[in-house]
Structure 1
Amino acid sequence: MPSTTSKREGDSMYDVIVVGTGFGGLTAGAVLAKKGYRVLTLEAANELGGSAGKFDRNGFRFAAGATVGMGFEQGGVFSKLFEELEVSPPTMSKLDPIMNVYLPDRDVTYYADQDKWYKEAGRVFGQGENIQAFFNEVFSVADRLYPFIDRKVVFPPATMGEWKNIVSSINLHTLSVAPFVTQSVHDRLKKYDLHRNQPFLTFLNGQLMDSVQTTSEYSPSLLGYMALSVFHRGAFYVQGGLASIIDTLSDTLLHHGGELKKRTRVDSIQRKANSWEVKTKRRDTFDAKHLIVNAPLHNIFSLLSEEDASSLPVKREKEEQQRSWGAFTLYIGADERFLDDSEANIPFHQFIGDYEKPLSEGNQFLFSVSQPGDPLFAPPGKRAITLSTHTEPHQWWNRDQYESLKEQYVERIVGQIEKKFPLFSDHIETLLPGTPVTFQRFTQRRKGLVGGYAPTSKYSLLKAYSPNSRLDGLWFCGDTVFPGAGSLGSSLSGWTVASEIQKGR
């Protein structure tokens, strides 16, 4: 239960301290502050949101990552969250089509409406009946899983309460998806004879790379199906980008008495007898009964004492072997005249250059362009663009090749864009590259690792890390714990932690 006494001026004891202002941390903080908990949130940067944040340069706002807004449809995660917080969401518009995808030899319009999508997929890829049957299975399985996800279960469970919550969340409807637990998305594609349809498989892998960080061969079917279904439930263009959602959550936190300190980097966290002590680089010290770390698990070992770290179920050696991507990004401010009339009102574009190359390192990227009438991103007649591709992070820490590598990636990516938009370079006014080195500097994520862990087998979902650290009062949220990457997964993990704290566990 939250404390009933008011915090005295100068008193450093809080009910909850949240480290980091990503979707998970701000969701947990806002929910708990509204429930009356004394919440302190600490952010190392000057901007909120981490990988979902923003920055301003030369009259443009740039989203840190190129990401579609999701979860605001009726019954969606963010719709329910904002109802609980009793606040209105930012201005947004529902998308249909969701995006255009440019494959090496054909273009496809990805529609949210199922009937439109089936017609378009059959036209572009052939095997229309097979594709429709596959997506019907995707939607059916996802529909059976959503009630389970809505229960905000802690997974994998360890305490009796966590086991009870999982058991009570399972019914015959949920159990019917059990055969999918041991299969990959690729296994399911074989059933519909789609695994040899190279254009469709490449399209699908492009979608999975942007949502679950891997391709169909390695994606657990349940994880991939949930990701593939989300667009069709509701994809949105959010005015001002995902940072507008972050701002709404932070405003809610503050409105309900929570505190938020920017430019306050946490140096260490230490377990005390009945609390957690947080020390900052500025040598400030704060204490709380509950500590929520919204930093990735990549960072946790540098914050904890050796004794506390050794007590975690997450072991340093094993965690460091987990596959994680970095991101190479381009932030571009441009005159909008490079766009064709037919493309001018479509905010998301995915480019895939070569069927035979991996969907990373600039061969595949998501191109997010601000929309006309959105003054938060760009002046009239201009567009703010965020472009992101997966990259192996280790190569970016070689100082001798760093600058030349950036130039190679810029040239490769801009060249691919110009195949679709020939006038693109002529209309660029601002161009800023970002690398894993940049992400480490501005988000504090170790080695610039983003997007959580990339699944490496069909069983990866069963090996997820729990939001419960197993150390009393210490919780994790964000893209490296269940339910995983993306704004929805991160927010759900924070909401789950807030729910568990309210139960007094």
Structure 2
Amino acid sequence: MAREEIIVIGGGIGGLTAGAMLAQSGKSVTILEASREWGGCAGKFQRHKFLYASGATLGMGLEKGGIHERIFRHLGIKTDAVRLENVMKIKQADRTLTFYADRRKHVQAMQHAFPSHSDNIAAFYQEVYQQAAKIRLLMKKLPILPVKTGKEAYELLTSLQPAHVTLTPGFFKTVHSLLKKHHLLDCRDFVHFLDGQLIDSMQTTTKDCAMLMGVLALDIYHEGAYYVPGGLYRFAEELVEAAKRNGAKAILGRRVTEVRKAGDRYEVEDHRGNIRTADHVICNAPIQALPQIMHQDLYELLSPGLKKRSNEDTWGTMTLYISLDETHLPDDFPLFQQLMNPGTHSHDEGNHLFLSISAQDDRKRAPEGFRTLTVSTHINLDNWKTKSQYDFNKAAFIDKMLNTIRHYYPTIDQAIVDLYPGAPKAWERFPHRPGGVVGGFAQTRSHSLFLSLSHRTSLKNFWLCGDSVFPGGGTIGVSVSGYHCYHSITGRRLIQ
């Protein structure tokens, strides 16, 4: 019997996870990546003697039982990573907070920082951690949401335990409602701190973040946060090698231009005119790419909800890639940190920066005495549509971001060796994110859990993975969606 043939469109972490696992299961797999780098938003690029992490930088899910640890163990992958006790620093004007990996130490630090709300903060985190523990127990079997088939419903139901009944009210609430319950809304700087954690992981703030997703995000760093030498692109490279070991073809520089039906199979054409056929197609591109890469007749067969969302923008990002002479950096410059524009409490439009710097001994990123820094902020793509808007915003955001860094690190200009801006068109050109969209949909009540997009589409054997679908963005989220494609195609489960 001929092996089922599968084409994976997009070599981000989600697509590579699906491809590597399917190849190991005996399927004939071809992975097509449009760019010259693996990893998508967790990729890299080289300029002279410096290597820059293009997007995702903080490693998670590597702890025992974490999604990456389970997938890598399943595939025989070994990773080099350093677990962080101090996950990141958060600087808000004249206040500096530390996110500690240890839960008790973290809560005590928050109580010390906001003594007038000490008891409320303790009660808030107690509920956050209790709820998150129940959700993790439920997610251990990686049930699929939203439920589309009887088998998926059965797997969800068999994952449930009596304790999970208490999670039901949380489906209709936000993190804001949890803060209100614990009388913390007037503790503005604490809310501000939580907003910073959620905007980076959930693409939204406490006001709108779905409560169950939010508590999981606020707890996830305590499960394990890691520095990965070189960067998270190494996850991608390991997954590619695992796929190849099991016979997969993994091809860079192959941009898919059209997917069409050919009888019971699919035809996938790339920009060079090569046509490949397959029994299954897994699309790891953002759903905003579907109108461009699917034949019109095929696209029209998608569900109305999926077509509607494929025409919606998500957040964009403005990123600065900087090489630094470390002699001009303070000794306590953290590996990961968030910086807030000191003149505002808003996290929108460049007021909130996430910084990640290479470790002093990371020779994969920079030569001795130098380091590379990735600085990113959320932007509203609606404000970047015309050329005049784009040119103005690009220059304005570079200045705004650098001025915020200068406020906290006055000698930063002396340290800068090179600086490369990554505006939306860079994200469109290199990792091929349509219009520069990144991060997937904000995890609000209307876009999460049972109201998120499934990896399963209305087209037989046409699947989705990546940050557009459940459970959302980040390397953990996209890996789960890649696993769901594997599980639905093969019926096999990930080892515990």
TM-score (structure 2 length as normaliser): 0.95
Superimposed CA distance per residue, residues 440-476 of structure 1 (whole angstroms, 9 cap, x where no aligned partner): 1112111110000124447744321100012111100
The match for 1:386 is: 374
Q: 2:321 aligns with which of 331, 353, 361?
A: 331
Q: Distance in 1 between matches of 2:155 and 2:19?
A: 22
Cα distance change of structure 1 residues 164 and 181 upon mapping to structure 2, 3 Å threshold: same
The percent of aligned pairs where both chains have the same amino acid is 34
Give the match for residue 481 of structure 1: 469
CA contact (8 A) 2:358 2:372 kept: yes
Q: How does 1:223-234 map to 2 (within 5 A)?
A: 223-234=213-224
Residues 392 and 459 (structure 1), Cα distance of their counterparts in 2 relative to 1, 3 Å cut: closer
Q: Aligned letter for 2:416?
A: I
- Summarize deviations over 1:12-37 as a string: whole Å, max 9, x none: xx621100011110000111111111
Paired residue for 2:260?
270
Secondary structure of the 2:430 match is: helix
Shift of 1:148: 2.5
Task: Name stretches of at least 5 consecutive residues in structure 2 with no aligned partner.
Answer: none
Question: 8 Å contact 1:301–1:316 — kept in the other structure?
Answer: no
Residue 347 of structure 2: aligned partner: 359
Other-structure match for 1:47: 37
Match of 1:176 among 145, 150, 166: 166
- Residue in structure 2 matched with residue 118 of structure 1 by the alignment: 107
Shift of 1:4: 5.2
Aligned Cα RMSD in Å?
Answer: 1.7
- Post-superposition shift, 1:321? 6.2
**Equivalent of 1:307, from 293, 297, 304?**
297
The one-letter amino acid paired with 1:156 is: P
Deviations 1:21-61 (A, max 9, x none): 11110000111111111100000000111111100012111
1:156-183 CA-partner distances (Å, limit 9, x unpaired): 1222222222222222122221111111
Instruction: Report what 1:241 is aligned to.
Output: 231
**Residues 103-142 of structure 1 mapped to structure 2, 5 A cutoff:** 103-126=92-115, 127-142=117-132
Mapping for residues 439-478 of structure 1, pairs under 5 Å: 439-457=427-445, 460-478=448-466
How much has 1:132 moved relative to structure 2?
2.2
Query: What whole-Å deviation, never above 9, does each CA across 1:405-446 have from its counterpart, x for those lacking one?
Result: 222111111111112111101111110001111101112111
Aligned counterparts of 1:338 and 1:284: Cα–Cα separation in 2: 51
**Which of 277, 281, 302 pairs up with 1:291?**
281
1:65-144 to 2 correspondence within 5 Å?
Answer: 65-89=55-79, 91-126=80-115, 127-144=117-134
**Residue-by-residue CA offset, 1:224-246 (whole Å, 9 max, x unaligned):** 11111110100000011110111
List alignment gaps of at least 5 residues for structure 1.
6-13
Does residue 432 (structure 1) correspond to residue 416 (structure 2)? The answer is no
**Alpha carbons of 1:46 and 1:313: their partners in 2 closer, same or farther (altered >3 Å)?**
same
CA contact (8 A) 1:155 1:466 kept: yes
1:187 matches 2:177: yes
Tell me the distance in 2 between the aligned counterparts of 1:287 and 1:496.
22
Q: After TM superposition, give the deviation of residue 67 of structure 1 in Å.
A: 2.9
| Partner SS, residue 438 of structure 2 | coil
In structure 2, what is the Cα distance between the partners aligned to 1:106 and 1:230? 24
User: Partner residue of 2:337?
Assistant: 349
Check the 8 A contact 1:437/1:448 in 2, yes or no: yes
Verify the 8 A CA contact 1:270 1:305 in the aligned structure 2.
yes
Alignment-derived partner of residue 13 in structure 2: 23
SS in 1 for 2:388: coil
Structure-1 separation of matches of 2:457 and 2:423: 30
- How far the C-alpha of 1:498 sits from its partner, in A, is 0.4
Change (3 A) 1:122 1:323: farther
Instruction: Give the TM-score, by structure 1 length.
Output: 0.94
Cα shift at 1:362: 1.8
- Work out whether residues 66 and 388 of structure 1, in 8 Å CA contact, stay in contact via their aligned partners in 2: no
Distance 2:215 2:312 in 1: 22
Question: How far apart are residue 395 of structure 1 and its match?
Answer: 2.4
Aligned with 1:484: secondary structure? coil
What does residue 478 of structure 2 align with?
A: 490
Give the Cα separation in 2 of the matches to 1:268 and 1:321. 18
SS at match of 1:176: helix
User: In 1, are the aligned partners of 2:443 and 2:472 still within 8 Å (CA)?
Assistant: no
Number of residue pairs the alignment of both structures matches:
491
Kindly state the Cα deviation for residue 320 of structure 1 after the two structures are TM-superposed.
5.2
For 2:463 and 2:291, locate their aligned partners in 1 and report how far apart those are by CA, in whole Å: 14
Distance in structure 1 (CA, Å) of the matches to 2:467 and 2:447: 18
Instruction: Compute the displacement of 1:114 (Å).
Output: 1.2
SS at match of 1:341: coil
